[in-house]
A and B are shown apart, each in its own frame.
Chain A
């Protein structure tokens, strides 16, 4: 089946329904392996057992970035190629990206308390993740405010791409700003040379989380297609009755 057939929403739905059970199973397996690895991982010489929070925090950050990347590619699909599934992919990704960005913030905060003594630190990374979270909320708000789904998709696409340009700028400027006010103690998150006994669980968890994202995203896309069908039919119904 050529890739172009995927552009057809019905075929996509059928494919998604076939693939999802396997993806779900793979995700669960990966997490089973990942969590056990995380559980068994030795304590970090500096941070003790709290390094285990990293196995949540880093994958969450990665997914927060990945989701915006998916939204950006979808945005190009919407604006440049008018690919019908691009709109769906973009809308489905936003809440998922926001949720994992929130997870990154929460786990970061809970990691920060024992490490730095406070729940919130204006660390460069935490701060730029906070801004990313705000931008996700802005995108979600924009999706909901524009009525027509096709028009919403196009407007959100512009915002997504502008955001994609801006995120590296924000990260750079926040890091720069942070180094201006660097606290006296040196912050070392895991150190530059990560021992394999910690690196392996981390990689497994990143893989597991990525599979989770794919599963959730695919399922959300499926819902979005159904939602559009419902909307179309409701509008036809309103027309028929009028």
Chain B
């Protein structure tokens, strides 16, 4: 087995191989983006609510039972 580190010949169906990897990357990227953007949105909302004086019950009573 030759360890070719340069651009490999992907054969006659190279387009399909590249497309598959592109699609996989795109799907994972969408998942990651959804999670990251969602988190930002949620932490922002939490911050707003907290600054409006809403505290979670546990912070008032000292125990934690969300």
Chain A residues in the interface with B (C-beta under 8 A): 8-11, 39-40, 42-43, 48-50, 52-53, 56-57, 60, 84, 95-96, 99-100, 102-103, 106-107, 110-111, 113-114, 197, 212, 216, 219-220, 222-223, 225-230, 232-234, 236-237, 240
A50 touches B17 (CB 8 A): yes
- A216: nearest chain-B partner, CB-CB: B31
B-chain residues with CB within 8 Å of residue A106 when the two chains form the complex: 20, 23-24, 27
- How many A-B contacts are there with CB distance less than 8 Å? 110
A124 CA to B17 CA in the complex, in Å?
22
| A237 vs B13: C-alpha distance when bound (angstroms) | 59
Q: A110-B19, A234-B49 are in contact. Are A219 and B24 (CB under 8 A)?
A: no
A107 touches B8 (CB 8 A): no
- A-B CB contact pairs (8 Å), 30 listed: A8-B64, A9-B64, A10-B66, A40-B3, A42-B1, A50-B17, A52-B10, A53-B20, A56-B21, A56-B24, A60-B24, A99-B27, A99-B28, A99-B31, A100-B27, A106-B23, A110-B23, A111-B20, A114-B12, A219-B35, A222-B39, A226-B42, A227-B42, A228-B66, A230-B45, A230-B49, A232-B66, A233-B46, A233-B50, A236-B54
**Chief secondary structure at chain B's binding surface:** helix
Binary CB contact string for chain B from 14 to 32 against chain A (1 if under 8 A, 0 otherwise): 1011011101100110111
Interface pair B54/A107, CB less than 8 Å apart: no
Contacts of B49 on A, CB cut-off 8 Å?
230, 233-234, 237
When chains A and B are docked, how far (Å) is the Cα of A168 from the Cα of B25?
29
B10 to chain A, nearest CB (A): 5
Docked complex Cα distance between A228 and B56 (Å): 12
Distance between Cα atoms of A96 and B35 in the complex (Å): 10
Q: Tell me whether A103 and B24 are in contact in the complex, defined as CB-CB below 8 angstroms, given that A43-B11, A53-B17, A216-B35 are known contacts.
A: yes
